[in-house]
Protein backbone atom coordinates (compact mmCIF):
# COMPACT_ATOMS: atom_id res chain seq x y z
CA UNK A 1 0.00 0.00 0.00
CA UNK A 2 2.81 2.42 0.81
CA UNK A 3 4.23 1.60 -2.62
CA UNK A 4 0.99 2.93 -4.17
CA UNK A 5 1.36 6.21 -2.29
CA UNK A 6 4.94 6.55 -3.55
CA UNK A 7 4.19 5.62 -7.20
CA UNK A 8 6.39 2.51 -7.34
CA UNK A 9 6.99 0.50 -10.49
CA UNK A 10 6.92 -3.31 -10.49
CA UNK A 11 9.51 -4.96 -12.75
CA UNK A 12 8.51 -8.38 -14.08
CA UNK A 13 10.02 -10.96 -16.36
CA UNK A 14 8.48 -13.81 -18.28
CA UNK A 15 8.71 -15.87 -21.44
CA UNK A 16 8.06 -12.80 -23.61
CA UNK A 17 10.69 -10.63 -21.89
CA UNK A 18 10.80 -7.96 -19.24
CA UNK A 19 8.26 -5.25 -18.59
CA UNK A 20 7.41 -2.57 -16.04
CA UNK A 21 3.97 -2.15 -14.45
CA UNK A 22 2.96 1.03 -12.64
CA UNK A 23 1.88 0.02 -9.14
CA UNK A 24 -1.52 1.66 -9.69
CA UNK A 25 -2.07 -0.79 -12.54
CA UNK A 26 -0.62 -3.85 -10.77
CA UNK A 27 -3.64 -4.77 -8.61
CA UNK A 28 -6.92 -5.26 -10.46
CA UNK A 29 -10.51 -4.62 -9.50
CA UNK A 30 -12.65 -7.80 -9.65
CA UNK A 31 -14.90 -6.88 -12.58
CA UNK A 32 -15.59 -9.83 -14.88
CA UNK A 33 -12.53 -11.75 -13.64
CA UNK A 34 -12.57 -11.73 -9.82
CA UNK A 35 -10.11 -14.63 -9.73
CA UNK A 36 -7.38 -12.49 -11.37
CA UNK A 37 -6.03 -10.08 -8.77
CA UNK A 38 -2.91 -8.67 -10.48
CA UNK A 39 -1.67 -7.66 -13.91
CA UNK A 40 0.95 -10.42 -13.85
CA UNK A 41 0.86 -12.82 -16.75
CA UNK A 42 0.52 -16.52 -15.97
CA UNK A 43 4.26 -17.18 -16.48
CA UNK A 44 5.61 -13.85 -15.15
CA UNK A 45 7.66 -13.28 -12.02
CA UNK A 46 8.29 -10.06 -10.08
CA UNK A 47 12.01 -9.29 -10.23
CA UNK A 48 12.14 -5.85 -8.59
CA UNK A 49 10.13 -2.97 -7.24
CA UNK A 50 11.48 0.48 -8.10
CA UNK A 51 10.94 3.67 -6.15
CA UNK A 52 12.14 6.91 -7.67
CA UNK A 53 13.92 9.32 -5.30
CA UNK A 54 11.26 11.56 -3.85
CA UNK A 55 11.20 14.54 -1.50
CA UNK A 56 7.92 13.21 -0.14
CA UNK A 57 9.18 9.85 1.18
CA UNK A 58 11.07 11.06 4.30
CA UNK A 59 7.88 12.53 5.81
CA UNK A 60 5.66 9.50 5.70
CA UNK A 61 3.92 7.01 7.95
CA UNK A 62 1.70 3.99 7.97
CA UNK A 63 -1.29 3.72 10.30
CA UNK A 64 -3.29 0.51 10.74
CA UNK A 65 -6.63 0.34 12.53
CA UNK A 66 -7.60 -3.18 13.54
CA UNK A 67 -9.86 -5.04 15.94
CA UNK A 68 -7.06 -6.66 17.95
CA UNK A 69 -3.53 -5.68 18.88
CA UNK A 70 -2.20 -8.80 17.14
CA UNK A 71 -1.36 -8.94 13.45
CA UNK A 72 -5.04 -8.87 12.53
CA UNK A 73 -6.23 -7.75 9.11
CA UNK A 74 -6.60 -3.96 8.91
CA UNK A 75 -10.11 -2.57 9.07
CA UNK A 76 -8.61 0.54 7.47
CA UNK A 77 -4.94 1.34 6.92
CA UNK A 78 -3.36 4.50 5.55
CA UNK A 79 0.03 5.27 4.06
CA UNK A 80 0.50 9.04 4.04
CA UNK A 81 3.37 11.27 2.96
CA UNK A 82 3.85 15.04 2.86
CA UNK A 83 6.23 17.46 1.19
CA UNK A 84 5.99 20.78 3.01
CA UNK A 85 7.33 24.27 2.46
CA UNK A 86 6.89 25.67 5.95
CA UNK A 87 3.26 24.84 6.61
CA UNK A 88 2.24 24.84 2.93
CA UNK A 89 1.59 21.43 1.40
CA UNK A 90 3.65 21.15 -1.80
CA UNK A 91 2.74 17.51 -2.36
CA UNK A 92 0.77 14.86 -0.52
CA UNK A 93 0.24 11.17 -1.14
CA UNK A 94 -2.39 8.97 0.49
CA UNK A 95 -3.13 5.30 -0.10
CA UNK A 96 -5.60 3.16 1.82
CA UNK A 97 -5.80 -0.53 2.54
CA UNK A 98 -8.71 -2.60 3.80
CA UNK A 99 -11.32 -0.52 1.97
CA UNK A 100 -11.27 -2.15 -1.47
CA UNK A 101 -9.95 -5.22 -3.25
CA UNK A 102 -6.75 -3.32 -4.03
CA UNK A 103 -4.78 -0.50 -2.40
CA UNK A 104 -6.79 2.66 -2.96
CA UNK A 105 -5.23 6.05 -3.72
CA UNK A 106 -7.11 9.00 -2.23
CA UNK A 107 -6.42 11.40 -5.11
CA UNK A 108 -9.37 13.69 -4.34
CA UNK A 109 -7.91 14.36 -0.88
CA UNK A 110 -4.45 14.90 -2.34
CA UNK A 111 -5.77 17.39 -4.91
CA UNK A 112 -7.79 19.25 -2.27
CA UNK A 113 -4.72 19.72 -0.03
CA UNK A 114 -1.95 20.68 -2.48
CA UNK A 115 -1.07 24.34 -2.02
CA UNK A 116 -3.04 24.61 1.23
CA UNK A 117 -1.74 25.16 4.74
CA UNK A 118 -1.40 22.11 6.92
CA UNK A 119 -4.00 23.09 9.49
CA UNK A 120 -6.40 20.78 11.31
CA UNK A 121 -9.58 22.26 9.80
CA UNK A 122 -8.35 22.04 6.18
CA UNK A 123 -7.09 18.48 6.66
CA UNK A 124 -10.33 17.31 8.24
CA UNK A 125 -12.43 18.96 5.52
CA UNK A 126 -10.32 17.44 2.71
CA UNK A 127 -10.31 14.02 4.37
CA UNK A 128 -14.08 13.84 3.93
CA UNK A 129 -13.31 13.23 0.23
CA UNK A 130 -11.42 10.01 1.10
CA UNK A 131 -14.13 7.58 0.03
CA UNK A 132 -16.32 9.95 -1.93
CA UNK A 133 -18.62 7.83 -4.07
CA UNK A 134 -17.98 4.67 -2.01
CA UNK A 135 -20.85 2.21 -2.12
CA UNK A 136 -22.38 0.90 1.07
CA UNK A 137 -22.66 -2.90 1.03
CA UNK A 138 -24.46 -3.67 4.25
CA UNK A 139 -21.60 -4.41 6.60
CA UNK A 140 -18.97 -1.94 5.37
CA UNK A 141 -20.65 1.29 6.47
CA UNK A 142 -18.23 1.69 9.37
CA UNK A 143 -15.27 1.79 6.94
CA UNK A 144 -16.83 4.64 4.99
CA UNK A 145 -17.09 6.57 8.26
CA UNK A 146 -13.74 5.44 9.68
CA UNK A 147 -11.44 6.02 6.69
CA UNK A 148 -11.64 9.86 6.60
CA UNK A 149 -10.80 10.02 10.32
CA UNK A 150 -7.80 7.73 9.90
CA UNK A 151 -6.58 9.77 6.91
CA UNK A 152 -6.88 13.05 8.80
CA UNK A 153 -5.09 11.66 11.84
CA UNK A 154 -2.26 10.23 9.71
CA UNK A 155 -1.74 13.50 7.83
CA UNK A 156 -1.73 15.57 11.00
CA UNK A 157 0.74 13.16 12.61
CA UNK A 158 3.08 13.36 9.61
CA UNK A 159 2.80 17.16 9.77
CA UNK A 160 3.77 17.19 13.44
CA UNK A 161 7.03 15.43 12.63
CA UNK A 162 7.93 18.02 9.97
Q: In what order do the strands lie in the sheet with 60-65?
A: 60-65, 76-85, 88-97, 104-105
Do 152 and 117 have their domain in common?
Answer: yes
In a domain, 125, yes or no: yes
The per-residue pLDDT string of the chain (162 residues; one tens digit each, 9 = 90 and over) reads 889 999 999 999 999 999 999 999 999 988 888 888 999 999 999 999 999 888 888 889 999 898 876 667 788 999 999 999 999 999 999 999 988 888 999 999 999 999 999 999 999 999 999 988 787 777 878 888 899 999 999 999 999 875
Domain harbouring 149, CATH code? 3.30.390.50
Residue 138 DSSP SS3: coil
Residue-wise pLDDT for 78-88, tens only, equals 999 999 999 99
Residue 162 is predicted with a pLDDT of 56
Domain that holds residue 8: 2-50
In a domain, 55, yes or no: no
Work out the end-to-end distance of the chain between its first and last CA atoms, rounded to an integer number of angstroms.
22
Do 86 and 13 have their domain in common?
Answer: no
Number of domains in the chain: 2
pTM over 0.85: yes
Q: CB under 8 Å to 50, separation ≥6 — which residues?
A: 8, 9, 10, 11, 20
Do 99 and 44 have their domain in common?
Answer: no
Residue 69 is predicted with a pLDDT of 66
Do 26 and 70 have their domain in common?
Answer: no
Residue 68 is predicted with a pLDDT of 72
Amino acid sequence: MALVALDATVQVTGPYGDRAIAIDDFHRLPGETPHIETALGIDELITAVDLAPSPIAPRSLYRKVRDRASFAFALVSVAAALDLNGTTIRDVRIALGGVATKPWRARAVENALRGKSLVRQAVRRASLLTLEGAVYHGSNRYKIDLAPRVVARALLQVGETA
